[in-house]
Structure 1
Amino acid sequence: MEEARPEIRATKSLAHQIATTLQQEIVQGELSVAERLPSEAEMAKRFGVSQPTVREALKILAAKKLVRSKRGPNGGVFVNAPSLTAASQMLQEMTTWFVGLGVFGLSEIVEARLLLGRTCVQLAAERAAEEDLATIESTLEAFERSDISDEEFCRLDVAFHHAIAQATGNNELRFIMLVVNDSLIPATNMISFRFRERGRVVALHSDILDALRARDGAAAIAAFEELIAYQSSVYEKALAARQGEAPQKQGSL
């Protein structure tokens, strides 16, 4: 493979340096949301580089969803409004990868979900508005359909826990739970769905909702802990079955 020419390496290095500088200015609030960045010519003069190098730096920022381009007379490159969903999606992909590689073990997944989930249900019991409770209830009603696929069941499971996180009224905690729920729940469900009793899961979800409606944080935590304990036991059964199947498959070759 032909080695990259020195001038190309230099251009990429400069572009990354400029992107890092602009990223810091965005994160620190020196460049505010929806603010239009200076033109490529102005930034090229500021940093003492060519316009193509500035353009490369802006592509790096766009890939990170930090800026967006707008065409037309009032167009240009603008600072993007932060999105919990977009940021969560990037972290979710990395977390799912770690789960698949076994970097995160069952005990760590259970511990993380327990610690964060207890906080969520406690705050939700204290702070949930009626519309929050209605959203949680709507996810439970969707479980009642008889034709739900395993993928749909998992999606509703995630939606249930997202709705609880929303009810905490804490955006930082909600962001953390977006990552946890979107990555860990599907990853474990993918392995354990054959051994799971749907009715048991839905019943425990209902217990959590009942406790939230009663503003009973202790009962909500107890129901959540029972849910995690059940899901953990199912996951262990699934892993044991997988380990038992592996030698049989090897012997049949």
Structure 2
Amino acid sequence: MVLNYDSVVRGSVAKQVADSIREAILDGRLKINERLPTEEELARRYGISRPTVREALKRLAAQNLIQSKRGPSGGTFVMRPDPAGLSGTITAAATLLVGVGAFDIDEIITARRETEAICCRLAAANHTQDELSAMEAEIALQSDSATSDEEFCASDVRFHRALVRASRNGPLDLMMYTVIEAFIPITNMIVVRMRERQQVVTLHRALLEAIRGRDAEAAVAALEQLLDYLRAMYSATLSARAARSAG
């Protein structure tokens, strides 16, 4: 194991130490399942206090880069980076950015149109029955009049999550995590009262049947219809809000 123990600049010392160890993990100087030095040894080598080391390790654990194990053979070990954990960090940041208006609806729809279209093409070629069954189950739930608005929105996310999984492409699945887990819920929150559920269900079914039939272009066309509909509902929602404010 090779780490740079040069003294760090005072300030956010814990962050600097965490960044130092993180870089060592990402560039391969620290290997998967390798044990880190003890807190006492890290404190001595970095020239900092043990509470500061502890805070740095908490930062790394929150990023799913290290894990502590108890017992005689325990200690703090380097973990294999978990895509869901890493994506969750990105998604939280993206949700915040959307919430404060850093991205407008046109950017979000365009991002979905371009990236999810790739998933549609790959899903048409690579899907398994498991993904088709998952999408069918969500359409059945969405078609049930007893399904609440909250459940409908959650089902919408799961439907598109299954579509992405059907691409059978790990890097793409990772890239799409933010789109599915941040952009779709935010859009749903805005248009939930304006959209017609049956219209969404109809377009979801068209998308599913195109994928089932391995018709990539029909799947992309169904996706584009769905996104055009969501954009229209977003505009209608904003108009309704403006009218209420003016009244």
- Common fold, TM-score beyond 0.5? yes
Matched, 1:128 2:127: yes
- Comparing 66-75 with 214-223, greater Cα deviation is found at 66-75
Query: Distance in 1 between the 2:212 and 2:224 partners?
Result: 18
Contact kept, 8 Å, 2:119 with 2:164, in 1: the verdict is: yes
Distance change in 2, residues 1:17/1:118 (3 Å): same
The aligned counterpart of 2:175 is 176
Percent identity of equivalent pairs: 43
TM-score (norm 2): 0.89
AA in 1 matched with 2:75: G
Root mean square deviation of aligned Cα:
2.0
Point out where structure 2 has 5 or more consecutive residues left out of the alignment: 1-7
- Classify the secondary structure of the residue corresponding to 2:138: helix
Contact kept, 8 Å, 2:143 with 2:198, in 1: the verdict is: no
- Classify the secondary structure of the residue corresponding to 1:69: strand
TM-score (norm 1): 0.87
Point out where structure 1 has 5 or more consecutive residues left out of the alignment: 1-8, 249-253
The aligned counterpart of 2:24 is 25
The aligned counterpart of 1:151 is 150
Greater helix content: 1
Distance change in 2, residues 1:125/1:39 (3 Å): same
Distance change in 2, residues 1:246/1:83 (3 Å): farther
Contact kept, 8 Å, 1:69 with 1:78, in 2: the verdict is: yes
**In the TM superposition, what whole-angstrom CA distance separates every residue of 1:189-213 from its partner, at most 9, and x where no partner exists?**
1111111110110111111111111
Query: Distance in 2 between the 1:238 and 1:116 partners?
Result: 25
Distance change in 2, residues 1:17/1:95 (3 Å): closer
Number of aligned residue pairs? 240
Contact kept, 8 Å, 2:63 with 2:85, in 1: the verdict is: no
Query: Distance in 2 between the 1:34 and 1:151 partners?
Result: 41
The aligned counterpart of 2:83 is 84
Contact kept, 8 Å, 1:158 with 1:185, in 2: the verdict is: yes
Query: Distance in 2 between the 1:15 and 1:155 partners?
Result: 37
Contact kept, 8 Å, 1:128 with 1:168, in 2: the verdict is: yes
The aligned counterpart of 1:198 is 197
AA in 1 matched with 2:15: H
> How far is 1:18 from its partner?
2.3
**In the TM superposition, what whole-angstrom CA distance separates every residue of 1:50-100 from its partner, at most 9, and x where no partner exists?**
444433322332233322222222221122332222222222222222222
The aligned counterpart of 2:3 is none
